[in-house]
Structure 1
Amino acid sequence: MDRSIRSLARPRLTIPDQVGLARHSRRVAALSMALWDQVLIFVGFAFAYWLRYMAQWPEPFDAIVFEVATQNQVEFSAFLPIIIPLMLLLALRFTTRGLYRATPRLGLLDQMTIILNSTLTGIALLIVFVFLYKPFYYSRLIFIFAGISIVVLLSSWRILRSAVQHWRWSHGLGQERVLVVGGTGLGLEVMSGIASAPGLGYNLVGYLYDRPIVACERATRVYRHLGSLDDLERAVLQSKAQQVILALPFWEHGRLPDLVLICQKLGVDYLLVPDFYQLSFDRVDVHQLGGVPLLAPKEIRLRGANLALKRMVDISAVLLTAPFTLLLAALIAIAIRLDSPGSALFCQQRVGKGGRLFNCYKFRTMVPDAEERKAELIAHNEADGPIFKMRDDPRVTRIGRFLRRSSLDELPQLWNVLLGEMSIIGPRPALPSEVAHYELWHRRRLEVQPGCAGLTQALGRSDMSFDEQVRLDIYYAENWSVGMDLRILLMVIPAVIGGRGAY
């Protein structure tokens, strides 16, 4: 009786209160990160001072330099008027660059880029100011050491924090509760992305749409249907959602203002997903006509000079790594021949840039009569769209299973790269039978050369739906840069090591 009275007397938190607490906790986390950064900046400068003046590294190369260095040696306290402005300058620079914003979430590489650029700018300004004021009073090396130390400390701290955060999210700890509004192709893609990547920190509580998603090839998972679009307020209150993602098809966009007002009334964060899905591009260029904004599809960037640059990088990378890859390929070929009869290499016709056919080379991972047995297994296909994927494919050999999980079966495709038929980074080369079932917007992925690895392998591999893979390929083609290729390569390595989505 007393317990029930106490429970009734205890005030219950409303959704706005819960959202307010979530935002408060994010602000506290951002403030904590900023304070830690200040501590590490100070520590970095202190380490630079120790390295230059206490450890006296590097050692002077003659007596004259040693005498000058000894005369220029100052107490650490003399650097405080320099360290404090540097800390404030970097804090301001990090804040304006969005390093401490809770949303949108910055990727680890983006954070490290901001840290590097901001630190270089801060140290450069500091050097100019100090040596205009006192040209021969301080050692120049200490500023270089300080810059390197600060970048290393701040980056290492974020790598550690990101690893812990990813582990917690992957185990369902501290995830943000998300409600998706929309149940068509666009809503399915959003829900599939959330469900297949728990490490992103989102917990899908369900979705709203006027009719439940019916069982189909694209609905590979069962999502919780919480009602129609008119039930948004009730669904948010009952599910305690902290964020709403509005992923409505273009014919439902007339209802967006009312849905946004409900989110604002409840104080819930919301994101809008523009339905460019049917237009076959992920990003647009904005033009104006008499003050009216016009959207045009973003052009493919892999043309002209960009294409020549990418080709030069591909050839250089293949030739530089050839001694290692040739030795590894020889060992794999021997292992394949010892494991099962037949050739170590497998040649298959694939569709390249512009729909041109070429012979794609891979290490054989299946029994010799695999293609003939494919028809018997078509009913067990676990992939949507025109592609065929099966987790426990009986045609895969023992060594083949390892090669697929590690993606080493694709090593011979470096020969296709040298021939100019493929690139190191790019969309997956498709089979002619798959391309025959492409929708019109799918064919945009054929405007660039296929690659040995791409965004699909980096983000989810076989766990992604086919339409989601195509959207990633189109995004890559429209936004290519050398930096993007490098990022994809850095993302593919842990994905391959972990074997995520590979079968």
Structure 2
Amino acid sequence: MIKGREQTLARLSTLIQVTLSAACYWFVTWAVIHYLRPVKIDIHDNNTIYLLIIAIWYTMLKEFNLGKMLRVKTYSELFADYFAMVVISSGLLYLGSLFLTNTVPVLILCLFACLNMVLLFGFRILVYRIFKALRGKGYNTRNVLIIADDEAYLHFIDRMIFIRDWGYNVWAIMSDGKHIKDKYSEHVRVLHEHFQLNEIIDANVVDEVIYCKGKFNNEEVRALIYACSEVGVTFRVYSELLSVVSKRSHLTYFKELPFLTFAGHTKNYFALKVKEMLDFTLSFLIVILISPVLLAIGIAIKMEDGGPILFRQKRVGLNGRSFSCLKFRTMVENAEALRVRLENLNEQSGPVFKMKDDPRITRVGRLLRKTSLDELPQFFNVLKGEMSIVGPRPPIPSEVVQYQRWQRRRLSMKPGITCIWQVSGRNNIPFEEWMKLDMLYIDTWSLKLDLMLFLSTIKVMITGEGQ
């Protein structure tokens, strides 16, 4: 009953937000035409835009799970989710209008995005606070029975008991653990484990059962699941193993046999396709916009020593595929041959070579590296599908040969121009920590994370924090 009600509320919330978004666009176009400056907008085109808004916003709200009734989430996390959703949706709206009708005027699109962000975030905050207030007064709560032992995750139990506006009422804890009894018996009833769960559920009002024992017992959990499912009570399991499983796992079937499948990359096919589309479109627009900068840099490199403008280096991409990575040349022409003499001066741990005051770097090259402008030609690699804008940096083959086995997982995602390492200190970070940052990116990847890293990279370029 409760689960069905929350699903209904989630659908209703999503539909309301889609309606608000369409109303935002109507209001912005009306205000611009009547009060700011005349903008000619065809009525037929406007109808197409409304259809695009309905389709895009509904899909992205579902993708970011922003219709769900929230119980445990900070305002900053909610703001970040909405910011990413509105930015990506507005970009898709612009692209959709470009192909299906006349392009949405930039003024209208920017005003719409700003108003949409304020309205949707304000709506969710209002609903969130209303529900938090109701739960704090005892409304819309769930009676929970926790099954634990002395090795359980006690911080979770503390929060379930003492944070009232989560809407969970811990009806009892079933445990024979001495520490559990000593700590919680004054706040909630503690039941002995010899009680039968099905009898407790039948005789009392229990909405959910949460199993969070440190020692995981398969047979016990199986019996508890059956006892709950027979009468429609929600059963949840916490285990340290699940914190790993949940990152990259999904349920698949061979005939009628279920398998828990682990993948080293995200299984969100739709989001990956959106990433590919955004990579190509943004790279195309960026190359056009910065073409004067590319020309100026090329002339400066050529004038300094008369050598080639671009440096092509063999790199390793997705799942071990090789490709020629493009960069503006920042070193003397025979830099690779001179590296042998400098190996003992390497300042980076692991198989990579990094040297802060590398004598092979030219004067123009030093400025390009400081501002990360030497990476700009890699947008052509993105257009060719060899790289993404955001992703682990592509290594050279000699580095990959020296990788430990767990480090090779960074090749499971298409390499990028920038990633967490680029905005977190670069050469100041040890090699192994760099690899762990790449694993963190792969394990937590989302379109929102890509957006945040892209914006952080722009900040690094402007402030000159690159090395």
TM-score, structure 2 normalization = 0.47
TM-score when scaled to structure 1?
Answer: 0.44
User: RCO greater where, 1 or 2, for CA within 8 Å and sep 6 or more?
Assistant: 1
